[in-house]
Amino acid sequence: MIEYFQKKHLIKDTRFNFRKADVPADLAKSVQLEGILVPLIATGDREPVVLDGYRRLGFLKEEETVPVQLIRDRKAALRASVELNMLASPYSEMEKACMVSSVLENRWMDDREILDTLLPRLGLKGQQIVLDSCLTVRLLDSKLSEVLAARKAPLKFAARLSRETLDEQLVLTDFFSIHRLSLSRMVQAYDLLVLVRKAENNNFSAIIRNLVEEKEDVLEQLRQKRFPRASEYKKQLGSLLGPYQGKLSFPEDLEGDAFRFSCQLKYPGDARKYAAMLREISENDEIFHFLSEYFGND
Amino acid sequence: MIERIFVTEAAVQYAYVKKICDRAGLEPEFIRDDAAYRRDIERFLTDPVGQGKHHLLLDVFRGEFFRKCPGTRGKVCCNYYVIDQTSNCPFDCSYCFLQSYLNLRAIRFAVNVEDLFRELEAVFRRHRFIRVGTGELADSLALEPLTGFGGMLMEFAVEFPGVVLELKTKSSNVDELPDVRTKPGRGVIGWTLEPAHVVSNEERGTATLEERLAASSRAAKKGYGIAFHLDPVVFFPGFEEAYLNLVEQIFSHHEKLDWMSLAGFRYEPALKSYVEERFPNSELLDGEFLRCSDGKFRYLFPERIRFFRRLVEKVKQLSPKTPLYFCMEDARTWKLVMGEKALTDPVLTPIFLREGDDEE
């Protein structure tokens, strides 16, 4: 049932404002031009608590009247709010985790109800480990949580980071922010940092301090720290085969077939050109030395 | 090891169910099907992979049990056939691909073994020579004290002259297996072996290295051929000496093996998070890996080649007649390690027949 309330009579409880991302510009424009077209969802009796519509409400004055779909049963209200949001503008995984934690902390639902009804509605697997991950994410430092929410980080990654100590989380927050890493680069950087930390028996702060700011890409520097021999091998191969890049196709994996090339013959003259190139490679002393160093003289 | 036994509606009628429950000393819990296990049990587990290994789901399998080992894209195939009667394993190894491969966390055990034997009989009669095993998705003997299945299968298979049945295990459960000394077929027990350091650090619940080697001697006395799989070879500080010592230990127990396989540790990207989350002390991911053309990560190619050469040399020196092969490595690796004629070495012929060579 749709009822009308002045904004000031609606309870805005931040515990139930799950949206972390910035307000989309088109939403602001729409509310300013047309007002609130789709009713807000709220629950409660005399003092309705808003569940859906926080962002839209933000554009209205306290005296303005808004349409509200008041659903007295709070579980039903929550379900309706989730349903609507998942259809219109799905929550990010961090937002979902925030909602699940809040619902459990405020005892709106027990574990079983969350597994059976809330997680599937949120597009998550109704499994205990997913619920546990949602709860773990609460342990994240608030700034790191903001960084992750802004990048729409997946729950699994956020849960991994939340297992780090607060000190390490703070270092990561700065590192991710200073270098403006995208989500995929954040994941790669974290993977590398964890492995380097283990290998050097160090902490993130000391590892990051040793990276050279002006030098090359920080991810590449971490990669070289973590995989020194592989990096060297790739570098040597790169310098030997570089002149032929774009002319011959190389397998990317540097496995046994690294020196088995292929090429496309488009014109009759190509065969002679490539044959000359292959002869050049086979007579290249540097390549010969490289191969014999790594694989012996066979 | 097994803490709960679930029996599906389809499996209830099988007498084998009662036998297993009696041996385990556990009351069966009746459920409709595997979907019910997922819905009512599995999703409430806090460590589904680890806890599922203590759950035995007795079920009926309606598909085909027998298939060719899929191998891996671009790598040399060893022409092995597999029987998928059990999937999943009570042992918990950090490097095990089943962690990210299986979609049911309990150990699923098909009790309709008569159907399996019927299917196998038709297959075995069709082949002059066939090498088959049950160790692809399960440890062949881990549940032997409960199910006795390995012994039953062995008894059946060794009656066929062209059949070589390998039961692959990390257990020491060989004492209840039948004596096969006078049988026309060949029974082989294959052990996955790792240096003691890897066993204690990366394998949970398995028999120790000494127990496995001692079990191999007992099995040999019953007429079984012995195979060892150094798979995965894990690089850790001091790994070279550890594996070379392991080879010495093997050949102090056996003069010649039916076969021996080698494979460096490799992993699909999906395995990584399982290792990190479930095995915080694992050294598995500490090495230097590169992504290969089949999507798996492997140790740096030249380092693999260098070490495999040492390992192969050691095996050839201690037991020249033991057939040695690589699992999931490409032809170039074979040639670089064992020479140009590696793939046509006559010592491999009995175990390496190509598809089509063996059908009558």
- pLDDT tens per residue, range A34-67: 888 899 999 987 789 999 998 898 888 889 899 9
Residues of B in contact with A126 (CB under 8 A): 43
Residue B11 phi/psi, 5-degree rounding, is: -90, -15
Residues B303, A298: C-beta atoms closer than 8 Å: no
Can you name the residues that pair with A161 across neighbouring β-strands? Answer: none
Site from B39, B41, B43 to mutate, A interface, most A CB atoms within 10 angstroms: B43
Q: What pLDDT, on a 0 to 100 scale, did the predictor assign at position A24?
A: 79
pLDDT over threshold 90, residue B254: yes
B303 touches chain A (CB under 8 A): yes
Does residue B69 or residue B83 have the better pLDDT? B83
Q: What pLDDT, on a 0 to 100 scale, did the predictor assign at position A154?
A: 95
The model's confidence at residue B360, banded by pLDDT at 50, 70 and 90, is: very low
pLDDT over threshold 60, residue B95: yes
pLDDT over threshold 90, residue B283: yes
Q: What pLDDT, on a 0 to 100 scale, did the predictor assign at position A18?
A: 83
B343 touches chain A (CB under 8 A): no
Tell me the pLDDT of chain B averaged across its residues: 91
CB-nearest partner of B301 from A115, A132, A254: A254
Q: What pLDDT, on a 0 to 100 scale, did the predictor assign at position A25?
A: 82
Q: How far is Cα B357 from Cα B133, in angstroms, rounded to an integer?
A: 19
Residue B238 phi/psi, 5-degree rounding, is: 85, 15
Q: What pLDDT, on a 0 to 100 scale, did the predictor assign at position B260?
A: 95
Dihedral angle of Cα B305, B310, B313, B315, to the nearest 10 degrees: -100
Residues of B in contact with A298 (CB under 8 A): 336, 339
User: Which ranges of chain A does DSSP label H, i.e. alpha helix?
Assistant: 25-34, 54-57, 74-88, 93-105, 111-113, 119-121, 128-136, 142-150, 155-162, 166-178, 183-200, 204-209, 218-226, 228-241, 270-282, 285-295
The model's confidence at residue A298, banded by pLDDT at 50, 70 and 90, is: low
Q: What pLDDT, on a 0 to 100 scale, did the predictor assign at position B350?
A: 65
The model's confidence at residue B73, banded by pLDDT at 50, 70 and 90, is: low
Does residue B34 or residue B333 have the better pLDDT? B34
The model's confidence at residue A272, banded by pLDDT at 50, 70 and 90, is: confident
Other C-beta atoms closer than 10 Å to the C-beta of B90 total: 21
Residues of A in contact with B338 (CB under 8 A): none
Q: What pLDDT, on a 0 to 100 scale, did the predictor assign at position B268?
A: 92
A286 touches chain B (CB under 8 A): no
Residues B305, A295: C-beta atoms closer than 8 Å: yes
Per-residue pLDDT of B134-187, as tens digits, reads 978 999 999 999 999 999 999 999 999 989 999 999 999 999 999 999 999 999
The model's confidence at residue B75, banded by pLDDT at 50, 70 and 90, is: low
Tell me the pLDDT of chain A averaged across its residues: 86
Residues of A in contact with B289 (CB under 8 A): 227, 230
Residues of A in contact with B47 (CB under 8 A): 129
- Residue pair A14/A49 in contact (Cβ under 8 Å)? The answer is no
Lowest mean pLDDT across A141-150, B4-13, B323-332: B323-332
Q: What pLDDT, on a 0 to 100 scale, did the predictor assign at position A294?
A: 67
Residues of A in contact with B288 (CB under 8 A): 226-230
Beta-sheet pairing, B130-133 with B81-83: parallel
Chain A, chain B: beta-carbon pairs less than 8 Å apart: 73
The model's confidence at residue B312, banded by pLDDT at 50, 70 and 90, is: very high
- Sheet with A2-6, side-by-side order of all strands: A2-6, A65-70, A40-43, A49-52
Residues B288, A229: C-beta atoms closer than 8 Å: yes
Residues B45, A198: C-beta atoms closer than 8 Å: no
A129 touches chain B (CB under 8 A): yes
* Shortest alpha-carbon distance between residue B109 and chain A (Å): 24
Summarize the confidence of residues A16-22 as an average pLDDT.
Answer: 78
The DSSP letter of residue B349 is: G
Summarize the confidence of residues B277-304 as an average pLDDT.
Answer: 87
Tokens of A266: 């488009």
Per-residue pLDDT of A202-258, as tens digits, reads 999 999 998 877 667 899 999 999 989 888 877 777 787 777 776 666 555 455 445
Total residues belonging to chain B: 360
Summarize the confidence of residues B333-347 as an average pLDDT.
Answer: 77
Residues A229, B303: C-beta atoms closer than 8 Å: yes
Q: Minimal Cα distance from B46: which residue of A? A: A129
pTM (2 d.p.): 0.86
The model's confidence at residue B232, banded by pLDDT at 50, 70 and 90, is: very high
* Shortest alpha-carbon distance between residue B77 and chain A (Å): 17
- Residue pair A140/A172 in contact (Cβ under 8 Å)? The answer is no
* Shortest alpha-carbon distance between residue B205 and chain A (Å): 24
Residue B203 phi/psi, 5-degree rounding, is: -120, 125
CB-nearest partner of B336 from A229, A233, A256: A256
Q: Minimal Cα distance from A199: which residue of B? A: B286
Residues B286, A195: C-beta atoms closer than 8 Å: yes
Beta-sheet pairing, B130-133 with B297-299: unpaired
- Residue pair A56/A30 in contact (Cβ under 8 Å)? The answer is no
- Sheet with B289-291, side-by-side order of all strands: B266-267, B297-299, B289-291
pLDDT over threshold 70, residue A275: yes
B40 touches chain A (CB under 8 A): no
Q: Which whole-number Å values give the CA distances from B54 to B101, B166, B329, in the listed order? A: 18, 25, 33
Q: What pLDDT, on a 0 to 100 scale, did the predictor assign at position A256?
A: 45
B295 touches chain A (CB under 8 A): no
Q: What pLDDT, on a 0 to 100 scale, did the predictor assign at position B128?
A: 77
* Shortest alpha-carbon distance between residue B323 and chain A (Å): 22
CB-nearest partner of A257 from B273, B288, B332: B332
CA nearest neighbour of B58 among B120, B12, B122: B12
pLDDT above 90 coverage of chain A, percent? 52
User: Which ranges of chain B does DSSP label H, i.e. alpha helix?
Assistant: 15-24, 34-40, 48-52, 98-101, 113-126, 144-147, 149-157, 196-202, 209-221, 239-253, 271-278, 301-318, 331-338
Q: Minimal Cα distance from A293: which residue of B? A: B302
The DSSP letter of residue A63 is: T
Q: What pLDDT, on a 0 to 100 scale, did the predictor assign at position B355?
A: 46
B48 touches chain A (CB under 8 A): yes
Chain A, 25 to 64: residues with Cβ < 8 Å from chain B are: none
Residues of B in contact with A234 (CB under 8 A): 290
Does residue A136 or residue A254 have the better pLDDT? A136
Tokens of B272: 């990584």
